[in-house]
Structure 1
Amino acid sequence: MTSRDLERGTKNGGNSSNLPSYYVETAEKQWTSWLIPMFVVANIAVFIVVMYVNDCPKKNLGSERSCVPKFLGRFSFQPLKENPLFGPSSATLEKMGALEWNKVVRGDQGWRLITCMWLHAGVIHVLANMLSLVFIGIRLEQQFGFVRVGLIYLVSGFGGSIFSSLFIQRNISVGASGALFGLLGAMLSELLTNWTIYSNKIAALLTLVVIIAINLAVGILPHVDNFAHIGGFFTGFLLGFVLLLRPQFGWVESQHFRADAHVKSKHKAYQYMFLLAAAVLLIVGFTLGLVMLFKGKNGNDHCSWCHYLSCVPTSKWKCENR
């Protein structure tokens, strides 16, 4: 799947039987991934600090509710009835920078749009996100370097926070999911804008679309902030057209061997069109979103059905009317 597989295959005698089901033609070097591992360490470190601040035994002293497991002392988790994800209390998360509409809009605490993406609701939450980040992020960083992937991660997380704040105004929200969905969105746009260099294009596209659809479908469960997922995904999708451009098929080889006189330009016209359109949509989207947010607008007032994007009521659970 990586952008170096074809190059390795041709150098080893051109035997493509050992290659993945799809690959790209490029001679770019492979970067060493260090930023994504740092993000993983930072998220875990922040979670440990949050649990230290939470100090469940002290704050539940004399209460019938018991922290679990007790042997962890001040690092023990809130009672499972309060937080089934094995984590801190919502009050601690709010204190540490969780996304909360009222504090962002009326309390002049816009920094929460960024801090929330470094917080997690529990051990299950942080482990699921960090495993996803490792599998998705390291490969992207190896292909495109830490600057571009880091920008996509951070800006997508920010975009997810803005979109979430426009629709969820009664609850707090935490997690790196918006940034993770941004990386998934960037993978999809990278495939589309660099279409000519991929082999087995349809297989690659279908695989990625199925993965994205499954992850978005999970977001319709209660207590999952799917608005952050959607906002992060579309932010990363647009950023991919801007930041993840590759030379068209044959250009790299022609530069090395001068073997293909027909390849005159590094990029195709449609790649520049995608880049321009995505850049405009990003600027307009962020501007409109921030203006609406800090004017106190509620996205649900302008979209009566959008709450179904984050939770679909069934016979087994109900959704809060947001």
Structure 2
Amino acid sequence: MFLRTESFKEFLRFYPVVSALVGIHFALWLLADFLQLGFAVDLKQWGIGVNVLVLNGEYWRLITPIFLHAGFMHAVFNSFSLVLFGPALEQMLGRVRFIVMYLAAGIAGNIGTFIVNPDAYYAHLGASGAIFGIFGVYLFMVLFRKHLIDQANAQIIIVIFALGLFMTFTRPNINVLGHLFGLIGGFAIAPAILKNARPFSLWQVRTRHSNRDSDEISFNPNRWKKRRFGRGGIGKYVLWGIIIFLALFALVNRSL
């Protein structure tokens, strides 16, 4: 579920929304931060969330920070998280509901920052609130939709949740309110968007996108089950969860 076994081309074809979001992250960084093109720099300044400017009627700043980042490592960290945890949810929800969830969680994080943060000139940007919204949906699954997530992946989500909160409250320059309200937003919208959702299945994804390839159509789903849930399967998932978060923690230490 959280281990990416697709090729690059398959990833782009199977998960177009996640791919597009990552592309936007790096395109905006390239134009505004690396190349420093005038229109892109102006666009970034126009989109940063600033409480006093929102108060003055620039309400688009509750949306635009979701797509902007403070630098390359900031964009890498959030994009890495999105690539790890977004694809399964995009497949389970479908493109439209995934986009709705992602934007709703990100906006919830920005609204929470605007309402609760007392600093009128507080500025923020980044996709972290929306990504914490993804975690919020997974957390809802673990608690109330257990048929959508197996035990091994549920354990990984709990580790994600605990470490995510730990890093939120212990690292400097973190928009704590954005993280918390993004998480709440994802958790709150989960009952609606998970209606009729089915568990993630890479076999179903491959079958759906391979109608012109008879070999792919006849692909045996039990092969994937053996690979994922064979001897030591749960232990491998927990191990991969630890490895993933060690990598995430290293990226945070380098980027902040």
Residue in 2 that maps onto 1:96: 46
Instruction: For structure 1, list consecutive stretches of 5 or more residues without a partner in the other structure.
Output: 3-30, 56-73, 75-87, 250-322
Residue in 1 that maps onto 2:32: 50
Which of 105, 108, 133 is the matching residue for 1:182? 133
- Check 1:101–1:133 CA distance in 2 against 1; reply closer, same or farther (3 A cut): same
Residue in 1 that maps onto 2:213: none
Larger RCO (alpha carbons 8 Å, 6+ apart): 2
1:132, distance to aligned residue in structure 2 (A): 0.6
1:199, distance to aligned residue in structure 2 (A): 4.7
What amino acid maps onto 2:123 in structure 1? I
Distance 2:187 2:143 in 1: 10
C-alpha contact (below 8 Å) 1:173/1:225 kept by paired residues? yes
Residue in 2 that maps onto 1:128: 77
1:215 is paired with a residue of what secondary structure?
helix
Residue in 2 that maps onto 1:148: 97
1:112, distance to aligned residue in structure 2 (A): 0.5
C-alpha contact (below 8 Å) 1:53/1:92 kept by paired residues? no
Residue in 2 that maps onto 1:37: 19
1:196, distance to aligned residue in structure 2 (A): 4.2
Residue in 1 that maps onto 2:174: 224
Verify: 1:167 aligned to 2:116, yes or no. yes
C-alpha contact (below 8 Å) 1:194/1:246 kept by paired residues? no
Q: CA RMSD in A?
A: 2.8
Over alpha carbons, which structure has the higher Rg?
1
Residue in 2 that maps onto 1:118: 67
1:205, distance to aligned residue in structure 2 (A): 3.5
Distance 1:44 1:146 in 2: 21
**Which 4+ residue blocks in structure 1 deviate beyond 6 angstroms?**
91-94
- Check 1:143–1:130 CA distance in 2 against 1; reply closer, same or farther (3 A cut): same
- Check 1:242–1:178 CA distance in 2 against 1; reply closer, same or farther (3 A cut): same
1:183 is paired with a residue of what secondary structure?
helix
What amino acid maps onto 1:44 in structure 2? F
Residue in 2 that maps onto 1:233: 183
1:143, distance to aligned residue in structure 2 (A): 2.2
- Check 1:105–1:212 CA distance in 2 against 1; reply closer, same or farther (3 A cut): same
More helix by share: 2
- Check 1:54–1:172 CA distance in 2 against 1; reply closer, same or farther (3 A cut): farther
1:47, distance to aligned residue in structure 2 (A): 1.7
Aligned-residue identity in percent: 29
Residue in 2 that maps onto 1:82: none
What amino acid maps onto 2:33 in structure 1? M
CA deviations 1:274-308 (Å, max 9, x no partner) are: xxxxxxxxxxxxxxxxxxxxxxxxxxxxxxxxxxx
1:111 is paired with a residue of what secondary structure?
helix
Residue in 2 that maps onto 1:28: none
Instruction: For structure 2, list consecutive stretches of 5 or more residues without a partner in the other structure.
Output: 3-12, 200-256
Aligned residue pairs, count: 185
Distance 1:223 1:92 in 2: 23
1:176, distance to aligned residue in structure 2 (A): 0.3
- Check 1:206–1:219 CA distance in 2 against 1; reply closer, same or farther (3 A cut): same
1:222 is paired with a residue of what secondary structure?
coil
